[in-house]
Amino acid sequence: MGKVRFFTKSKRNSIAYVPQSDYLNLYLTPRESLFFSSWFKNSKQADIDHAKLVDRTIEQFGLKCCAGTLIRKCSGGEKKRISIALEMISSPNLLLIDELTSGLDSSTAFKCIEVMQSFIRSGDMSQRPMIIMTIHQPSTDIFNLFDKIYVLANGFCLYEGTPMQLVDYLSSFQLFCPTYFNPAEFMLNVASNFFGNLAVQELKGAYRTSRKSAITPLPHLQRVKRAKLEQKTSFLLGTWLLIRSMFISNFRDPQQSIFRILENILFPALLIFLVRTSSGNESGCIFILQNETHILTETIYQRIDRQRIAITNITILYFNALFLFFVTMTPGVLTFPLKVKVFTKERLNNWYSTSSFFAAFVITNGIFTIFFTSVGTIGFTLLTRQPIALLPQTLLLNILLTLYGDLLAFIISIILPHDLLSAAICTAAFACVSQLFSGFIVRPQDTRSIAIPLSYTSVFRYYFHGLMKVYYLRSDCIIGEDKLFSFTQLLDLIKFYNYNNNETHVNLFENINMKVLMNLEDTWWNRTRIFESIETTTEDFESIIDALHKFWIEKSSFVIQEFGVDLNSWWFDTSILMAMLIFNYLLALILLNWSQKYRKKLN
């Protein structure tokens, strides 16, 4: 390991790095990208004219022809020059470039190197940056453009000097390059042991000997103990600039704009095409009170038919929620990995802080998610004729669920930024497994006891319970003391109770005193007096009446009973959803910070 030393106690150097892959914001133009880069990197220079600096950089790097074109439509060579221009706009002292010519044809590669050479030599001598570039098998024309080359083999230097001196240097070791052969390719053959390992060892030993005699020790040198990145933009300015760039990018990205708006409009229309009944008007109550008399005249068959309609409506509500969730999550898992890569590159070059990026991401994606979820929810409510009065509660629950889907895609993208397929599979698998514990697919009464605690970790459980309470835990389902019904209808209720619980009581009515039947059959009684009369019969019937009382009063909505939804307010589930969302936002921020520190160690 070498040591870096310098004369003074401290020295500030501006270092920029251009990776091999072009991690660029594809839905910005080169001019816009350079403008944001100038603001990020030169914001502390009060007297700088960003517009003029951008125009000059575009001219110097030969980007005038594509300055107003989206980067996604630019050629490979133009993208390479854009990547370099984004870093050179702040005039760094040192620019590190990894495989600039990778993926480019020889003509485009030569033009990129030539543009860089002319850019450096056109500037002031005192402000010229040092550029260190890795390259494999350059053509002869590209090879001769370099001022100095440094040939490595297995971590050891074999040659350091100008390209023009390489052939003569190799000749001194009896390694003769053919007259019309590419010197760079010939040197690559030497370094690859094509002429034997002895030649490599001789070159390595000769270089080490020459460097020992060339280095002159200097006094008063101090060792570099640490390097510290100085933030170039404030948190507020960095966040504001990122919000602007992300908003422009999301607006232009069809996956984040056009497709999502069409999906949220067409899906409710498809439901209208499929469903022939107006299921949104079904209350889900066990009883329907007629007019102002509060008399129950509904038959058990009508009641079962209403139950079928209510279950259909629940299915539509829940499937619409899943649709909104996946429509939000899927574009995210396809686009967020590139955003994470762009952030990693820009953060490595110290454009802005991690907290600025996270805040801008949450705000920008939150605005888009809330907008599209609102469009989808309002369209669904109107087209399926759901109660308008329940729209605010439904909208809040849907927004919380879609924000969670957007955040889930972001977290997976942080963990797997370079494996898009695995990120998509993991996100979909996690969402599908999580919604198994919602209580919609597998009812609580059918769930194994060992799996019940896991359901409390599912965001879908709290969403589904909250949605059921909004639509079906309603005060008009409870029959108060002043609601009257006939004794015949009480027997009908008992039949419905038996049917709903898969029980049969063949001799139930034989246990009722005939005198009670004769006296009460054609008489209207209030609920309390009927229960008191029936409780004077057999003990077997008393237990049934107790169960009926609990079923009737405490679970007066068969929807609430069927899905095992508790009787707490919907705000209880909404509050837990909010808490889970905040927790996952904090988790995403921690993972984002950790990923940056981990990648810095790797670099």
Number of residues that this document lists for the chain: 603
Amino acid 230: pLDDT: 55
* 81 alpha carbon, distance to own chain's centre: 30
- The token duo for 409 is 């895609």
Amino acid 532: pLDDT: 54
Q: What CA–CA distance (Å, rounded) separates 277 from 475?
A: 25
Q: Which amino acid is at 602?
A: L
Q: What CA–CA distance (Å, rounded) separates 308 from 289?
A: 19
The contacts of residue 54 (CB under 8 Å, 6+ apart) are 31, 34, 35, 38, 89
The contacts of residue 582 (CB under 8 Å, 6+ apart) are none
CB–CB of 419/595 below 8 Å? no
Strands 130-134 and 5-6: unpaired
Q: Alpha helix (H) ranges present in 136-196?
A: 140-143, 166-171, 183-191
- The token duo for 214 is 């060339």
> Is-above-0.85 flag for pTM?
no
Amino acid 219: pLDDT: 56
CB–CB of 96/87 below 8 Å? no
Q: Where are the domains of the chain?
A: 16-135, 138-217, 235-477+561-602, 484-555
Regions of the chain with pLDDT less than 70: 1-13, 123-127, 212-232, 276-303, 474-557, 599-603
Q: What CA–CA distance (Å, rounded) separates 569 from 575?
A: 10
The CATH code of the domain at 16-135 is 3.40.50.300
Number of CB atoms found within 10 A of residue 106's CB: 12
CB–CB of 384/268 below 8 Å? yes
Residue that the structure tokens 């870093």 belong to: 87
Question: Which of 236, 345, 340, 283 has its CA nearest to residue 591?
Answer: 340
Q: What CA–CA distance (Å, rounded) separates 464 from 470?
A: 10
Amino acid 96: pLDDT: 87
Q: What CA–CA distance (Å, rounded) separates 405 from 409?
A: 6
**pLDDT tens, position by position, 339-359:** 998 998 888 888 888 999 999
Q: What CA–CA distance (Å, rounded) separates 35 from 27?
A: 14
Identify any residues that bridge with 130 across adjacent strands, giving them in sequence order: 94
**pLDDT tens, position by position, 46-66:** 778 888 999 988 988 888 898
Q: What CA–CA distance (Å, rounded) separates 468 from 563?
A: 9
